[in-house]
Structure 1
Amino acid sequence: MHLCISGFLPDEDEDDSLKFDLDLDEYFNDRIMQLLGHSSLNAMAVGEWLLTKDQIREISDIIGKPLPTDLDLFIGVLV
């Protein structure tokens, strides 16, 4: 199992198509779960979680890649 980040245009836009998709390396799972306050990937697997701007910035620092800040980003678990 690994984490995936999906990005969509903000809610006020009528286009609901996927604009950003990033599968994260399993190496980052523990640090990101701690950041988000989840105890396990199973606990996170119940849905997708909207990330705050602060969480986006911190995850970007963890993975060493910039993430878009102009989209609504969600994080979820892929099996």
Structure 2
Amino acid sequence: MTNESNPSVPVTSEGAERRAPARAEPKMLEILVCPLTRGTLSYDAEKQELISRAAKLAYPIRDGVPIMLPEEARRLED
């Protein structure tokens, strides 16, 4: 079954669209920095997060949008 407005997007039996995980655009990684350290970020495709090693935080990417709020970030283990 597909979405009538966008036939290339599959729809689940409950009617909700099912999307593949978003990928971080290389240009986005060139522009974005950690809001706390102003350091570079790396992309974790499996967890859909942008990683700041300096701040030891992982910023989530939700629906393809990076959430660059420290209070939303996951603290990384040492």
Higher relative contact order (CA 8 A, sep 6+): 1
So what's the TM-score if we normalise by structure 1? 0.30
